[in-house]
Amino acid sequence: MTMPTYIEPCLPKLVELAPTGERWIHEIKHDGYRLAVRIDAGDVRLLSRRGLNWTSRFPLVDQAARELRQKSVYIDGEVVIDGADGISDWPALHACASAGRCPGASLWAFDLLFLGGNDLRALPLVERKRMLAEILAPLTGGISYVEFLEGDGRTIFEHACALGLEGIVSKLRDSRYRSGKSDAWRKTKCEQRSKFVVAGFIPNSGNKRAVGALVLAELIGGELKPAGKVGTGWTMKLATELAAALEIIEQPEAPFTKPLLRKAFPGVRWVRPIVTVEVAYRGRTGDGLLRHPSFKAVASVQ
């Protein structure tokens, strides 16, 4: 069978609770870009989630793919930059990918769709993974095999979060590979929660009487420092109420210990730092700002 030039990836469904039961296996969720390795007659292509040719961006993965003995293969995985602690460094990956080249990025491979002209997508997942592990075994870097865990998904998820990982992806062990959203693959993401001081707000672009985003701050070493901004998690009613309350405590200057240019947060209206909110987030950027924050509640008002 002729191997397609591009296969739309199977996408996991986001769930709050990891599934349990013997039908499920569980993999660590790596924080990177979806990437496929397509080799046809020895010609290597690295394809993005939408089928763009990203071969030149990830030279380490490209080199490892060329070292494979198989000359006709289609591998699905996630390209990452692993930090010193072994946890994916998303900000570093995003920065170098945007610049067009990531020499330190490697691939975590979790599925095998084609091998030697044979379409494997109808085979059970665990069989595809067994074959994938075999073909990747000779490699010493660039592409690594994603092991799977068996057992209670919720316990495995708790351990992953305790280690500071992004979460897990649970998959039906006998499932076939289906492009697009699939209930046979389910991702559960770790979430951190903390309280932050509101330093200012940015009005909603469509309704100036409502909050579009809150500028956050945190007290570190006796200094009030920026923590980023949050723009999701509230209803329009609550956003309007927040704006009305914050307008009362508005002030001309940023409340941070060290001066901050207004252009860092375009359209911001600074407030006295007396309101604390609870925010959920999934890690930090390299400069300490929150990643994927979501507003949860007003915690206190001094």
Q: Do 135 and 284 share a domain, yes or no?
A: no
Mean pLDDT for back-to-back runs of 10 residues, the chain (302 residues): 94 93 96 96 96 97 96 97 82 86 97 97 98 97 97 94 90 98 94 90 93 94 91 91 95 84 80 93 81 86 76
33: domain CATH number is 3.30.470.30
Residue 3 covered by a domain: no
Last residue of a domain, one of 154, 189, 224: 189
Residue 73 covered by a domain: yes
Q: Do 49 and 159 share a domain, yes or no?
A: yes
Q: Beta strand 180-189 with 167-172: parallel, antiparallel or unpaired? A: antiparallel
Task: Find out whether 52 and 97 touch, Cβ atoms under 8 Å.
Answer: no
Please state, in angstroms and rounded to a whole number, the distance separating the CA atoms of residues 298 and 82: 35
Q: Is residue 63 helix, strand or coil?
A: helix
Q: Do 66 and 178 share a domain, yes or no?
A: yes
Residue with tokens 């591009």: 6
Token output for 212: 């579009």
Per-residue pLDDT of 43-94, as tens digits, reads: 999 999 999 999 999 999 999 999 999 999 999 999 999 887 788 888 788 8
CA distances to 16, 110, 143, 153, 191 from 168, in Å: 11, 13, 20, 9, 12
**Domain range for 213:** 192-301
Q: Do 179 and 213 share a domain, yes or no?
A: no
Residue 5 covered by a domain: no
Candidates 13, 29, 189, 225; catalytic one: 29
Q: Do 178 and 223 share a domain, yes or no?
A: no
Is 29 part of the annotated catalytic residue set?
yes
The total number of structural domains that make up the chain: 2
Q: Do 277 and 132 share a domain, yes or no?
A: no
Please state, in angstroms and rounded to a whole number, the distance separating the CA atoms of residues 37 and 66: 10
Burial 160-184 (b: 16+ CB within 10 A, else e): bbeeebbbbbbbbbebebeeeebeb
